[in-house]
Amino acid sequence: MGCLMVRYAVTNCYVFDGLGNVFKGSVVVEDGLISDVGTEGSVEVPKDAEIIDMGGGYLLPGLIDAHVHLIGMRTGDFVKEPLLVPYETFVARVVKDLEELIYSGFTTVGDAGSLIAAKIKYAVNEGSVLGPRIVASGLALSPTFGHGDVHYLPIEYVDYRTTRKLVPMASLICDGVDECRKAARYALREDADFIKIMATGGVLSQKDRPEYRQFTLDEVKAIVDEARAAGRFVHAHAQGTEGIKNSILGGVKVIAHAIYIDEECIALANENEVVLVPTLSIVDKILSIGSKIGIPEWALKKADEANKEHISNIRKAYKLGAKIATGTDFCGGHLKMGDNALEIKLLVEKIGMEPKEALIAATKVAAEAVGLNHKLGTIEKGKVADLLGVVGNPLSDVGILQDRRNIKLIIKEGKIIKCF
């Protein structure tokens, strides 16, 4: 954790600004903000500014993973691990995972369901824990028998308000408009920066299927109304077509997974400026290493069934101009915090994005998915100085971002976390 310079300039680099422009230039940072950026010669570097010479490397906005779960898992056994490991151990693991995230270039994460995330963010903000900025939903909302009503755990372990044992994936179970409003308010009371809902079944929930509709349109609308009233937005786990449609019509801003998104929903998403977070990484990992790390058989089967359609539907969404952001759905262990740049590579390899577009998905659009695009996600004057200096050209090969040795400079809110 390097120097504490107040005013400095990063020079001799190719700036990729997150908007799509690339130019040889400099960036001046002052009091945590980008005070100037431009081509060489057009930027006036203050005389007293210290210089960080990038030696011709690339400078990007800090990376953002818009869908993680900071719950400190170390196996893929979602059935046994939460019951056997003490809660405090999970918290300690999350501290380690946050360090992995920041050293791999992720300066912001959106946590889509973890009470640990919603609370530990204060320790990160005060500087007690090193890690990316956390934007957290805290407790997710799920209907009874929903994706968040973790069916493989005894029912008394599931709802945070009634459980006698804290488990990392505890959520709020609510049915009907009134209960949904109350649960949304409860989540806000427990530090939610946005509200996470389970709009459909899923791969990692035992007794349902991705295509099952869960919250009804009226329930979604009630939750969105509570979120809006408190200046927040809603992020939905939505895999089946009916649940995706309900979410968008109900006013949800972020659709995670979107496995069975169809053309009608893509058009609706575009009309409403909804961001899709396909989370290709989790499916990729479940299929490649799932059986070795203890992912239950029923989840492996569902992932396999969903995979092909998922890829082809997201490809269609991309071609039709949908907003797509990076999110891995990683939760620790073999779904390792620090490997999150995998999603950028999968957007290129499986969806057919240009590297530049995949980098925009991981910066500008991901900032929108966590509700911070007014403040960060691009290298522009006045934006928060979250910057990454890399050797090699990520615009020709995004894969270089998966190796943290290529990331020489990491700056979060103007603070230099790593410098060569």
Give residues in contact with Zn ion (CB under 5 A): 112, 329
Give CA–CA dist 91/117, Å, rounded.
9
Select 327 or 338, whichever has its Cβ closest to Zn ion: 327
Q: Which residues of 15-38 are buried (b: 16+ CB within 10 A; e: fewer)?
A: bbbbeeeeeebbbbbbeeebbbbe
Q: Shortest gap between Cβ of 137 and Zn ion (angstroms)?
A: 10
Task: Find the residue with minimal CB distance to Zn ion.
Answer: 329
DSSP 334: T
- Residue number with CB closer to Zn ion (227 or 282): 282
Min separation Cβ 335 and Zn ion, Å: 10
Cα 161 to chain centroid, rounded: 26
Work out the angle at residue 327's Cα, subtended by the Cα atoms of residues 223 and 79, and round it to the nearest 5 degrees: 75
**Minimum distance between the CB of residue 204 and Zn ion, rounded to whole angstroms?**
8
Nearest to 279 by CA among 311, 319, 249, 243: 311
Q: How far is the CB of 167 from Zn ion (least distance, A)?
A: 16
- Altogether, the residues listed in the chain come to a count of 420
Pick the closest to residue 178 from 189, 168, 186 (CA basis): 186
- Quickly list H helices, 193-296: 217-229, 241-250, 263-271, 280-293
Q: Least distance to Zn ion from the beta carbon of 256, Å?
A: 6
Nearest distance, CB of residue 279 and Zn ion, angstroms: 7
* Residue whose CB is less far from Zn ion, 151 or 182: 151
Closer to Zn ion by CB, 17 or 329: give it.
329
Residue 52 or 112: which CB sits closer to Zn ion?
A: 112
CA distance 355 to 317: 17
Decide whether 280 or 417 has the Cβ nearer to Zn ion: 280
Asked whether the beta carbons of 102 and 131 are under 8 A apart, the reply is yes
Residue type, 260: Y
